[in-house]
Amino acid sequence: MTILPKPTLIIMIKEPVPGRVKTRLGRDIGRIPATWWFRHQTRALIKRLQDPGWTCVLAVSPDAAGIKSRFWPDHIARVGQGIGDLGQRMAHVMNAPLHGPVCIVGGDIPDIQPHHIARAFRTLGSHDFVFGPAPDGGFWLVGAKRTRALPTDLFQGITWSTPQTLADTVASLNGYRIGFCDELSDVDVAADLKR
């Protein structure tokens, strides 16, 4: 078994400002309650996912304001997400000059526990990419082993937020070994909060 460098967990988050975060949830329950939920959710998530088994990095948006924001813990490194759609921003942070395996998660998955992240990194021991499926056809986690160059068209041409998002993303990685870990749900609308 190959010994890999210490992995990196990247948590993609937006600065919690009303109207900027959880806009679909905000249409259902109001902008202020949606922002309040996101603030508390992300604080708890960041605290819970810090682990000696990996390095946590926050990928923030907007770049300049998020990097300077006082809302996030000071002891965790921050990088900007960059511009573009979700795929372009994920590719940007996944290609950041970090060493070794990397997994990316969003800040809106309440059920993530450290054992989910550990399982994803273990899966990368024998796979090039790992995905955490979501019940809606998307994914809550994507990870890459990064022992060779990532595809230049990583996450391009994917239609996000559809029942085919995960299948289309996996299909775009033809020739790579793909693994899967636990299925978890994110929170986009009020019905997701009830679940």
Pick the CATH number of 8-194 from 3.90.550.10, 1.10.760.10, 3.40.50.300, 3.40.640.10: 3.90.550.10
> Could you tell me the two tokens for 94?
């996944």
Residue from 189, 152, 143 nearest 172 by CA: 152
Residue from 147, 135, 139 nearest 172 by CA: 139
> Could you tell me the two tokens for 85?
């759609």
Q: What is the pLDDT of residue 50?
A: 95
Residues 154 and 14: their CA atoms lie apart, in Å, by: 22
Kindly report the pTM of this predicted structure.
0.91
pLDDT by position in tens, the chain (length 195): 555 568 999 999 998 888 888 888 889 899 999 999 999 999 999 999 999 999 999 999 888 777 778 888 889 999 999 999 999 999 998 887 667 899 999 999 999 999 999 999 999 999 999 999 999 999 999 999 987 778 878 998 898 889 999 999 999 999 899 999 999 998 888 888 777
Question: 118 by DSSP, 3-state: which?
Answer: helix
